[in-house]
Structure 1
Amino acid sequence: MENENGLNKIDDRRIQVVTPGRDAWSLIKEITQGDYQEDAFYICDINDVIAQYKKWKMKMPRVEPHYVLAALGAGFDCASKEEIRKVLELGVAPSRIIFANPAKKASHIRYAAAVGVTTMTFDNENELYKIKRYFTDARMVIRIRYDDLSATYVLGNKYGCDPKTEARDLLLVARSLGIDVIGVSFHVGSGSKDNAIYAKAIEAARHVFDVAETLGFNFNFLDIGGGFPGGRSEDFYEISRSVNHALDTLFADSSIRVISEPGRYFVTSAFTLVSNIHSVKEAVETDAASGDPVKLQMYYVDVSVYGAFITVLCDEFYPPKTLYGHLDARKYPSVVWGATCDGVDKIAHNVMLPKLKIGDWIVFEDAGAYTLSIACEFNGFPPPNVHCVVDEDNWKLLRQLRTFPKGRFVVGKTMEDFFTELPASYIAEI
């Protein structure tokens, strides 16, 4: 594919191998110094994902993360037939997949049955009747509700049964239908801010385990969901300590399998988004409190809240940073506007930035959670390309763990080579 400058767009299926010690900022500076790049782009740092995985395994060794990390041995949390299909195409065994959607279409249940994905969740009686009709041999997991009301996205208003008032009755229905229920799942909400909430939810799960035992079930599976923070400034230690203590206290039996669904944790800090300022103007607004006029610097970039920043509409904030230092150290009230013609498309309002000009670049860190996955192309602006990088040491690690298609990793090229697609003779295909 070519962009409007006649240059080939990045093939986001490839991963560029770089020398150890190259961080995202150094790579961004190398890319933006040339005249060949004006479109917004992501740097996806595979090294960061691997580091997050290693930290997870060190801090919570008993909890199996279920996320799209096939080469590292993770399991997979899928929400639909299409997600299951994509994961299976990676060569992942169906036993490593949990169909973690409590409200499934009949055709998706039939597909799971056909491909051997047997573990799935439920939270209501009607779902059990569907399972009885379409997949009697499924291994079901009852999803309970236990919300962190301070989370960025609270999920309990949509999914989950009450562990004390509803779980027992649902288990009785499952028993009457001859459906095998193997354990409990919960999700405290995406972007959890309460370090103690997981321990409280695990305690609620323990209650359901005990109720199930009185009904003749033999539970051996616990899914503690997602919501784990993954930003650069967020500390995973307190949460992991709380989870480990709760598991050691309430689920000491090591035969009980414990999994999780930590998508945000793995990708938040791995993605850095970079966008070019293509238009600038000054405007005057009236201060709501004082009534005084306030001069604003208005910056227009080629990403939007309908593309990379749709979560801004849900009150998430991505502080814009400047790529290079400026002679004038003063900062001014500024607005960063998105690319579309919609007045709602405001990425950042009343932020303090140095005075910028057309052609300057701004950087948004921690841009990996729910950006690309739910982006659209409103007004004809596509989501930014993704440039994946990995250092030589982790490249060798990944190749030891998994066989990759020829050409997936690219070595021996500069950033300018990669962006302008020089002839194939410059590429060492592995």
Structure 2
Amino acid sequence: MAGAEGYQMEAAVLAAPVVKDREVLRLRRDAAGRRDVTGLVRTIVAAAPPPDSTTRAAAAGAFNVLDLGEVARLFAAWWRGLRGVRPYYAVKCNPNPALLGALAGLGAGFDCASRAEMEAVLALGVAADRVVYANQCKLEPHLEYAAGVGVDLTTFDSEEEVGKIKRCHPGCRLLLRIKAPDGDDGGGAMLNLGTKYGAHRDEVVPLLAAARRAGMAVVGVSFHVGSAVSRVGIYAAAIEAARVRRRRRARHAAHAHIGGGFKAGGGGGESTFQGASAVISAALARHFGGDDMPSGVEVIAEPGRYFAETAFALAARIFGKRTRGEVREYWIDDGMFGTLCCVHFENYVPRPAPVTATADDGDEQAATMGGEMMITSTNTSTKTHPSTVFGPTLDSFDEVVRGYQLPELCTGDWLVFDDVGAYTTVCSSDFNGFSTSNMKTYLAYSC
């Protein structure tokens, strides 16, 4: 981003809830737009106090870097591609408070599935009408909480759920969640959500009748094509199906919820957003444009990984090493039961970048750039070794990567993993007593 748009978005993010009270570091981009995350990690590591055996101060542990500039860039790209579709960020993907605050400052809505997620968003000062309770089968106390705080838009796909909502939140407005068409391969989705949620075609009319009998207002239709879709044509079929279901209930629906599945290109995969936005815009114009889509209809979506995945990087410290011939084995203080659970759950392909924390004299040089101390390596050695990287637990499953070429590293050095913001720490566990719950997140803004 450049010019007035870039300045306005940066100002909105830096003044956002949570962010405004935190230090935000500068993250450099080169002429090609690539971010120097490893350089920033070097700066952070160099500034950390060394471990002190006399005071028992521990060595710095693994940490995250959240690039708020990347969030702003993606938000701008969203409005360029889907100007008429308001993003309601899927909090389940990554509920980091600074990320939520930045998105709130940029004007996003929020897609929440539980009381805790609603509480996290509302605590930022977000208005209740910017929240959709998007869970088709809700716990009664969570529904009662939503009623108490004014979150009055939710999804459903069963007659039993209509009765529950009537008892716990009688003033709530409803979105009928329909099952998206599967297509030839379910859109190439990483996870097909239609196996669990979504009304089938023959269930739509009975469900609408059940809502009418209960005196509940169905104000729109919702669908989700699946997580991390690779075949974007599935959106066109889903929007056409939503149009048909909408006609069956009324011609004055206020909402069309087109779900998520968008990718910004993280984890080594390609971005599908540009292709998806073109398909969606054309399908909306064809099936909901003109007289068929009266003024006042709001089209919303629930992107999660689109905003979160590429905005986060992980820096993990090497605390153990073993040499076996040419093979090097390293232990780091995060792994498959922590942030890097995405290797298993998300098919994330780890490509760790080394950051040397210590070196011989002359191997590193310090320079001041924009008032910041930058540590840059001058070691020109290109020799690498086939390396295995393990996480900290005792489980042999806790193997992050094997046979990956890395230079000779030592205990106290670091490995940096890009694009680890989607379904990572939120899916981690405390197995073996190792937890990500207290992991520090440094805020940065790339430009």
Pairwise TM-score range, normalised by the shorter structure: 0.7 to 0.9
The question of whether the paired residues in 1 share the 8 Å contact of 2:26 and 2:444 is answered with no
Secondary structure at the aligned position of 2:422 is classed as coil
Structure 1 residue 154 and structure 2 residue 167: aligned?
no
The 1:35/1:109 distance shift into structure 2, 3 A limit, reads closer
What's the counterpart of residue 28 of structure 1? 41
The 1:354/1:365 distance shift into structure 2, 3 A limit, reads same
Describe the superposition over 1:68-102 as per-residue Cα deviations: whole angstroms up to 9, x where unpaired: 32111111111111211222221111111100000
The question of whether the paired residues in 2 share the 8 Å contact of 1:12 and 1:385 is answered with no
User: How far did residue 192 of structure 1 move?
Assistant: 1.6
What's the counterpart of residue 94 of structure 2? none
Listed as ranges, the matches of 1:50-199 within 5 Å are 50-67=72-89, 68=100, 69-146=103-180, 148=186, 150-162=188-200, 164-199=201-236
Structure 1: where are the runs of 5+ without partners?
Answer: 1-10, 285-294, 394-430
User: How far did residue 385 of structure 1 move?
Assistant: 1.5
What's the counterpart of residue 399 of structure 2? 346
What's the counterpart of residue 424 of structure 2? 371
The question of whether the paired residues in 1 share the 8 Å contact of 2:318 and 2:332 is answered with yes
What's the counterpart of residue 49 of structure 1? 71
Describe the superposition over 1:256-312 as per-residue Cα deviations: whole angstroms up to 9, x where unpaired: 21111111111111111111222121458xxxxxxxxxx643211000211111222
Describe the superposition over 1:25-84 as per-residue Cα deviations: whole angstroms up to 9, x where unpaired: 331121233563641111111111111111101111111001232111111111111211
- Counterpart CA distance in 2 for 1:185 and 1:160 is 9
Secondary structure at the aligned position of 1:152 is classed as coil
The question of whether the paired residues in 1 share the 8 Å contact of 2:38 and 2:353 is answered with no
User: What RMSD in Å do the two structures reach over aligned CA positions?
Assistant: 2.4
TM-score (norm 2): 0.76
- Counterpart CA distance in 1 for 2:233 and 2:38 is 34
Which of the numbers 241, 245, 253 marks the counterpart of 1:204? 241
Structure 2: where are the runs of 5+ without partners?
Answer: 1-17, 30-34, 50-58, 90-99, 357-376
Listed as ranges, the matches of 1:246-325 within 5 Å are 246-252=283-289, 253=293, 254-283=295-324, 296-314=327-345, 315-323=347-355
The question of whether the paired residues in 2 share the 8 Å contact of 1:14 and 1:388 is answered with no
- Counterpart CA distance in 1 for 2:242 and 2:402 is 42
Structure 1 residue 221 and structure 2 residue 242: aligned?
no
The 1:80/1:20 distance shift into structure 2, 3 A limit, reads closer
Secondary structure at the aligned position of 1:101 is classed as coil
TM-score (norm 1): 0.79
Secondary structure at the aligned position of 2:386 is classed as strand
- Counterpart CA distance in 2 for 1:26 and 1:372 is 23
| AA partner of residue 299 (structure 1) | Y
